[in-house]
Every structure is written in structure tokens, then in C-alpha cells.
Amino acid sequence: MPTSLQRPRRSLLQRYFAFVERRSRFDRLLLHTAVVGLVASVVYAAIALSTSFTTAIPATGGTVTEGIIGTPRFVNPVLAITRADHDMTALLFDGVMKLDTNGTLTTDVAESVTLSEDGLRYSITIREDEYFHDGTQLTAADVVFTYQLIQNPELKSPLRGNWEGVSVTQTGDFSLEVALPEPYTPFIENLTVGIIPRHIWADLPIEQIPFSEYNTSPIGSGAFAITDISFSPTGLITDYTLEPSTFSNSSPRLSELHIDFYNNEAELLTALDEGLVDSTASLSSRTLSEQSFPNQSITEYPLPRTFALFYNQNRSGSLRDETVRKLLSQSIDKEGLVATVLDTYGIPIDTPVPATYGTLQSTSTPSATSSEMADVATTLTAAGWEQNDDGIWEQAIDDELVRLELRIATANTDVFVATAEYIKAAWDSIGVPTTIEQYEQADLVQSVIRPRNFSVLLFGNDVGRSIDLYPFWHSSQREDPGLNVAQYTNIDTDAYLSTLRTSQDSAERTEALNNFVSTIAAEQPATFLYTPTFGYLVHEDISQPELSRLNHPSERFTHVETWYRGDESLWPFFQD
């Protein structure tokens, strides 16, 4: 029987091309165009449909390189001194407490922190799932060791003064108690210091701790751990490579973090231009304001510091006149001062409370208008002042002929000198001759501040995130080593400051702060100028959490585990 042969079945694509080949050239062109259009429409519709059902989420992976001016020496929370030291300790070490994104303190390695009703004892329970980068469990013994090492006078830790008179006692494997000699509400800020591993440091003699290699090859408990260190030919550290710690509770989105160190701003700028650095907080305000940085954004963070002119009424009879003090304050254009001296990296203030800190916001009132200042002569005359033949205002005060001329004492740094010169110009313009006396920082402290040897002092106060104004304004702090350099005395403000320092009631503290500020504004023992800010330059495709109420620039690394670079799309049912 003859065998029948079956023709192979042709594919749809083959039949399409066979059909097209039998058409004219013009018809073939039309058919091809129509098919291409149909395919493109289907693909576009599919992409659009997929996009409509997917969501953008932070990408996992990626590398960020941070540039820092300086060289780390003590990457150790107990000994950190320089800005590079503080930056690295913030990255590598966790504390009992940490800053949340709203600017308040929350627990970190602690499971709980409880303050007794009398404000004297902190009972701390440590989480049992915390580990150092080498896999050793973090316990209460590590916390107690860290705090007691800070207190050791032989080590000379820069933090020792914050722990004077404090008793630290371990009460269990994961519990301890910190007892204060007297109630001090801002003390809780000290619990943010990073915890160091006892098993690494305890066997070292105290005199050898500053020279240990673990100061530059540290083991902490943060989200990132050091995996590589690069050195210059002279042995200085030039680069740290950090990767997510396998023992951390957090899961950083970045796969790698590089910290590169530079000798000066010029080297850092070159690295930025070459794309070698993604972010930095080491550039001056002048550089940030004068140069452009493509693909970079700048976030400006205020710090809990105030710069002011402190009036010593014991050394200058003219400054005992409230009219004079108010006139001097009104003559200063603080907005112009910030723009001229700080290149806008500052916030004008009129109170001892740093701008954006505390429940009471400290903002600047406008300086007097030219027409108001033209009335200076009338104002001074009404207050009993008379101009002599040299044009200097004079008045008999306490049986002494006092001349209205001033000396501003300050440090010989660029910012202080520029600020003093701006103020001198303002006071000269209203007929108050002013001279500037510049000192090295050490000389300013020893020869001017400690003996209160000045009429006007231009200086800055670091009041901290908790706004501890007691050291700077309480009457008990008038004499050295107290920091009440204006030697201000007021029984009411003393009470307000004591409440601020001891009360655990936020409403009571707010009322005390408002009352204190109102009294200071009325009596004008100082002219408050500005709160400084620092600029953080970050590549535009790097996402970081918004932070507030930073105490130090190094706190920009708070929640570094949440940083990510770019987005990725994912269908909802794949999301965790």
C-alpha cells in the first residue's frame, strides 16, 4: 500500500511572510507597518498595565562614599575628640539611647530605661539580642565597663565631666542602675554614648588604652562593621570600607559604605568634582554658598548653640544703663549679619534658646529702622547722656563720669572676628566708638573669661539638645569656673532654671523656659545673635531620613541603616 506523505505544518509567522511575499511592494510596506504598530501597542499596553500595578520601593544594594576632612585617631566613644573620630564612632557604635527622627531620645541597645520618681536613678534593661561585630553578645557588663572607664581619672576621657559623682552598678546579666548625686533631667543625653566591648578592652592597662590598635580598627555593635582599611604611605588611614554587620538586628539597604578622609577642603572638592565622593558635611558655609554642585542637594541642620554678646556691667558703667543695652541690640541687623558672616548658614535669634530647639521657638525680631536709629541722640539725651566736644557720649553714673565707648573681646577665629567687625560697624554708625580685642582661644579663656576681664564678650554657648541653660545663667555660676560670664543675677530666673534642670514634667519645664526667656528679654544682659547651622551635601539619588534637633554633626548618621540609593518596582504580592 503506498505510503502518504504529510507536508509539515507551517508556523503562523511563516504563513504571514508567505502571504506578504505574494503582495505588491506597496502592500507589503503597509502590512509590515501595521504589524509593527500592533506589536508596539501591545508591548506598551503591557508595560503600562504592569506599571500601574507595581509600586516603587527603596532599592536594596548600592554603595555610598562619604568624604570627611581629617584623620581618625580615636574611633572609640570614650576617647573620641576630632570630628572624624565622632563621625566614625556614630557609624560603628550603638548606645543605650539614640535619637529618633523627631529629635527625641528613644532606646537603642536598651529594652527599657526607667527614671525613678525622685529623678535620681535610671534603671536600665539591655536587650538580649544585641551583639558586637565579632559575634560576642552585648550585656550589662559592657555598658557598666564603658561608663566606669569614662569615669576613670587616669584615662582623661573628654566625657568624664558629664559623669562626675555618678554611680554605675550592674544588677544582673542584662540590667544596671545609674544613680545621680542630684536630679538632673538633661543627664539622659549621656546615655547616647556608644558602648565598647569589655572583652576587647578590659585586659589592657589603663595607660595603654589610648595606644591600642582597636582605636583605629574598632569593634562596635552598629548596623555597619569595618571590613577593610586603607593607609597612606605615611601610615595614616585614608579609607574605611564598611558592610552590614552579620550580627546586627537591623538590615541596612546599602551593601557597602565607604568613608574617605582628606587633608583639606581643596582635596575634598577635587574628589567631589571627579565623582569620587557622594556626600560630605565637611565643606565650609562659604564654599557651599559660592560653588555649584550638580546632582547634589544640601540639607541645612541647626545645632543647639547660641552666639551672643555678653555685657559685663561690673566692668562698664555705661552698660548698666538698660537704655544703652537695648539700643546696642536694636542697632544690629541680624539677618544681614548671618548673610554676611555665615553666608546664610545660621538663624538669627533674640533669646538664649537655639532656633528650632525647645518648645519655645527662638526667632529674631527686625532690627530698628533707619528712622528709628536716627533718633539715637534723642533717646540717649532722654536717658541722661550728653555728648562732649569729641562727640563721645558721657554721663555721671555712681559718681563717676562714664564714656559710652566699648571693647569687644573675642577669639581670633574667622567667624568670631568677622562677627565682631560687623557689630563694630553697626555700633560705630550710631556714635558708639568700638574696638576689637582678639585672643587665642586658650588666652581668651584664661585672661578674659575666667577673671571676667571684659566689657563686652563675643562668645558661643553650647546648651545641648535638652536646653540646659543653668551653667550659663544661674547666679551660682557667676564666678569661675561657672559659665555665667555676664554675671547675671535674678532670683526669679534662678528658680526657673532649677525647674528646667530637675523637673520631669514637660509642661512645667515649658512654662519655666518661657518665663526665663521673657525675663531675659526684658533685662537684656546680652544680645543674642544667631544659631549656627551646618550644610550636608548629598547626591540626589541617595535617600536619607529627615532628622531634627541634632546635637552634633555626627548624628547625621543616625538611622544609616535606612539609607538607600534609587528605587525599584515590585508587584504587591512580592512585597513583605
Residues 549-567 have pLDDT tens digits of: 999 999 999 999 999 998 6
SS3 content of the chain, % helix, strand, coil (to 5): 35, 25, 40
Range with lowest mean pLDDT among 95-109, 125-139, 328-342, 345-359 = 345-359
For 67-105, letters b (16+ CB in 10 Å) and e give bbbebbbbbbbbbbeebbbbbbbbbbbbbbbbbbeeeeb
pLDDT at 58: 81
pLDDT higher than 50, residue 363: no
At 537 the pLDDT is 97
Statement: residue 53 has pLDDT above 80: no
- pLDDT over threshold 60, residue 225: yes
Average model confidence (pLDDT) across the chain: 90
- In this predicted structure, the answer to whether residue 498 has a pLDDT above a threshold of 80 is yes
Query: Region 121-140: what's the mean pLDDT?
Result: 98
- pTM for the model stands at 0.85
In angstroms, how far is the first alpha carbon of the chain from the final one? 67
Percent of the chain with pLDDT over 90: 80
**Taking residues 282-292, what's their average pLDDT?**
95
Helix (H, G, I), strand (E, B) or coil at 228: strand
For the residues 161-188, what does the mean pLDDT come to?
97
Cell 569615669 found at: 151
Contact between 307 and 459 under an 8 Å Cβ cutoff? The reply is: yes
Q: Does residue 506 carry a pLDDT above 50? A: yes
- Domains in the chain, start-ordered, CATH in brackets? 63-295+540-569 (3.40.190.10), 305-533 (3.10.105.10)
- Give the separation between CA 103 and CA 303, rounded to whole angstroms: 12
Distance CA 381, CA 372 (A): 15
**pLDDT of the residue at 360:** 45
Confidence of residue 13 (pLDDT cuts 50, 70, 90): low
234 or 50: which leads in pLDDT: 234
With helix as H, strand as E and coil as C, how does 381-413 read? Answer: HHCCCEECCCCCEEEEECCEEEECCEEEEEECC
Q: Can you name the residues that pair with 297 across neighbouring β-strands?
A: 538
* pLDDT at site 59: 81
Radius of gyration for the chain, computed over Cα atoms and rounded to the nearest angstrom:
32
pLDDT value at 6 more than 60:
no
Lowest-confidence segment of 93-97, 139-143, 289-293 by average pLDDT? 289-293
Q: What pLDDT does residue 394 have?
A: 93
Distance CA 237, CA 84 (A): 11
Contact call for residues 97 and 557 (beta carbons, < 8 A): no
Angle between helices 491-502 and 506-523 (to 10 degrees): 150
* Predicted pLDDT at 10: 62
| Inter-residue contact 500 to 469 (CB < 8 Å) | yes
Across the range 222-240, mean pLDDT stands at 96
Cβ 103 vs Cβ 549: under 8 Å: yes
* pLDDT tops 90 at residue 571: no
The confidence score (pLDDT) of residue 527 equals 97
Q: Using 50, 70 and 90 to split pLDDT, how confident is the model at 518?
A: very high
- Residue 240 main-chain phi, psi, to 5 deg: -110, 135
By percentage, how much of the chain surpasses pLDDT 70? 89
Dihedral-angle region of residue 358 (phi above 0 means left; psi in -120 to 50 means alpha; beta otherwise): left
Strands 434-439 vs 406-411: parallel, antiparallel or unpaired: parallel
The pairing of beta strand 167-172 with beta strand 121-126:
unpaired
For residue 481, is the peptide bond before it cis, meaning its omega torsion is within 30 degrees of 0?
A: yes
For residue range 522-545, list pLDDT tens digits in order. 999 999 999 999 999 999 999 999
Instruction: Let me know: does 463 contact 472? Beta carbons within 8 Å.
Output: yes
DSSP states of 497-541 as a string?
Answer: HHHHHH---HHHHHHHHHHHHHHHHHH-SEEEEEEEEEEEEEETT
**Model confidence at 369: pLDDT above 80:** no
The pLDDT score that the predictor gives to residue 55 is 66
Q: What is the pLDDT of residue 391?
A: 85
The mean per-residue pLDDT over the stretch 406-425 comes to 97
The pLDDT tens digits for 267-285 are 999 999 999 999 999 999 9
Selection from 463, 450, 490 nearest residue 474 by Cα:
490
Distance CA 324, CA 314 (A): 15
Instruction: Give Cα separations from 461 to 440, 468, 477 (angstroms).
Output: 17, 10, 14
Per-residue pLDDT, 480: 92
Within 10 A of 559 (CB to CB), how many other CB atoms are there? 17
What is the structure's pLDDT at 362? 43
Instruction: Using pLDDT thresholds of 50, 70 and 90, give the confidence band for residue 364.
Output: very low
User: How much is the pLDDT for 216?
Assistant: 97
Residue 63, pLDDT > 80, answer: yes
pLDDT higher at 24 or 458: 458
